[in-house]
Amino acid sequence: MAEPVLDIRNLSVNYLTPRGTVKALRRINLQVPSAKVVGLVGESGCGKSTLISTVIRLMAENARVAAGEIRFTGKDMQQLSPRDLRAIRGRDMSMVFQDPMTALNPVFTVGRQMADIQYRDAVSRKEKLKRASDMLSLVGIPDAVSRLDNYPHHFSGGMRQRITIAMALLVQPKLLIADEPTTALDATLEVQIIRLLKALQADFQCAILFISHHLNVIAELCDFVGVMYAGELVEKGSVRDIFHRPGHPYTRALLECDPSVIAEPTRFLPTIPGEIPSLIDLPEGCIFHDRCPRAAQVCKKTPPPEVSLAEHHTVACHCLEV
Ligand code: SF4
């Protein structure tokens, strides 16, 4: 694997709450190589958003990094001054959020917002607007020059998300973080946005950390995938490894619950029995043991080791059956 743009090592993050310490992330190891797309998948509450907010250091006030480090292009993100952080965010690292309406400022035109985001570049406003209209054309907004004068509410949901992607790429980031960017869109628009992201990533050669709970989206877009469960990265590998040779029982259960793989009409969609355990009072042993069909005695007492199944493919499980 090439030198990672983003290198997360042994990261643990807690939230301090009146009810106790929520151990939201534990011992996360994840690398995003240059010019590759890494997907993170898992149920709601598994820690995907906490991981992103820690990477970009926009954490909640009660969040604390308990251990580990995050290196972005070799720099330790936790040690950067606010000034150095500002220099990275919106330039080397940019974000696409789930809801484009909250990401765009409703009281300014799209052109103004796209010009303002280039504030670091010493070029004329005319040149910034030219770049903005070129980028809007690239993401498929017709009549881009005149649409620079429109406000966000003049665009449909799918177009607004195209605009946020255009803004994120306008600064030519080394890493684009996309936090469920298609969740608020219908299925047709979702496909369009994923294909657009894929084409743009090939053009711009930036790395992407892509968060989603839609497995088919992850399969279509990503080179590598990390599977999160209750604050832990339980399996990671290439898309082929995860979708064709999943090793962790949770990954298998997730794949079996994907509605797109159900061949026969059914009244009930498959689910994973049980619930995510309390992150305040963590169970002993494997975090998945009370929902796992393969749980053995050792799983209830001892946390599973990370086992390597192939190059880049690791699984945290006592009882592998691949
Ligand atoms: Fe299941 Fe045991 Fe593997 Fe955990 S370690 S996923 S309980 S088999």
- pLDDT recorded at residue 4: 93
Query: Tokens 């599973």 correspond to what residue?
Result: 304
The DSSP letter of residue 153 is G
- pLDDT recorded at residue 288: 96
> Are 118 and 210 part of one and the same domain?
no
Choosing from 125, 146, 171, the residue where a domain stops is 171
- E strand or H helix at 161, and its extent? helix 157-170
User: Total domain count for the chain?
Assistant: 2
Domain membership of residue 228 (yes or no) is yes
CATH number of the structural domain spanning residue 88: 3.40.50.300
> Are 164 and 177 part of one and the same domain?
no
> Are 122 and 139 part of one and the same domain?
yes
The residue to mutate among 235, 317, 320, 322, having the most atoms of ligand 1 within 8 angstroms of its beta carbon, is 317
Q: Got the DSSP string for 152-221?
A: GGGS-HHHHHHHHHHHHHHT--SEEEEESTTTTS-HHHHHHHHHHHHHHHHHH--EEEEE-S-HHHHHHH
Q: Is 289 in the pocket of ligand 1 (CB under 6 A)?
A: yes
> Are 111 and 68 part of one and the same domain?
no
> Are 146 and 264 part of one and the same domain?
no
Q: Is 229 in the pocket of ligand 1 (CB under 6 A)?
A: no
Residue 19 one-letter amino acid: R
Choosing from 138, 171, 204, the residue where a domain stops is 171
Q: Which domain holds residue 158?
A: 105-171
Q: Is 319 in the pocket of ligand 1 (CB under 6 A)?
A: yes
- pLDDT recorded at residue 281: 94
In the 3-class helix/strand/coil scheme, how is 290-303 assigned residue by residue? HHCCCCCHHHHHCC
Instruction: Determine contact, residues 3/33, Cβ cutoff 8 Å.
Output: yes
Q: Is 291 in the pocket of ligand 1 (CB under 6 A)?
A: no
Ligand 1 atom with minimal separation from the 248 CA: 6
Domain membership of residue 97 (yes or no) is no
> Are 243 and 296 part of one and the same domain?
yes
Domain membership of residue 71 (yes or no) is yes
Ligand 1 atom with minimal separation from the 234 CA: 6
The DSSP letter of residue 89 is B
What is the CA(48)–ligand 1 centre distance, in A? Answer: 21
Domain membership of residue 98 (yes or no) is no
* C-alpha distances in Å from residue 252, one per residue of 223, 232, 243: 19, 16, 9
Q: Is 286 in the pocket of ligand 1 (CB under 6 A)?
A: yes
> Are 167 and 180 part of one and the same domain?
no
Domain membership of residue 99 (yes or no) is no
Q: How far is CA 30 from the centre of its chain?
A: 12
Domain membership of residue 53 (yes or no) is yes
- pLDDT recorded at residue 322: 43
> Are 177 and 165 part of one and the same domain?
no
- pLDDT recorded at residue 198: 86
Instruction: Determine contact, residues 36/207, Cβ cutoff 8 Å.
Output: yes
Domain membership of residue 321 (yes or no) is no
- Nearest residue by C-alpha to atom 3 in ligand 1: 317
> Are 157 and 177 part of one and the same domain?
no
Tens digit of pLDDT at every position of the chain (322 positions): 557 999 999 999 999 999 999 999 999 999 999 999 999 998 888 999 899 999 999 999 999 999 999 999 999 999 999 999 988 988 899 999 888 888 899 999 999 999 999 988 899 999 999 999 999 998 889 999 999 999 999 999 888 989 999 999 888 899 999 998 887 777 777 888 888 888 888 888 899 999 988 888 899 899 999 999 999 999 999 999 999 999 999 999 999 887 777 777 777 777 888 889 999 999 999 999 999 999 999 999 999 999 999 999 999 999 875 4
Domain membership of residue 115 (yes or no) is yes
- Nearest residue by C-alpha to atom 5 in ligand 1: 317
What is the CA(321)–ligand 1 centre distance, in A? Answer: 11
d(CA 36, CA 205): 8
> Are 162 and 295 part of one and the same domain?
no
> Are 195 and 69 part of one and the same domain?
yes
Choosing from 121, 154, 171, the residue where a domain stops is 171
> Are 68 and 54 part of one and the same domain?
yes
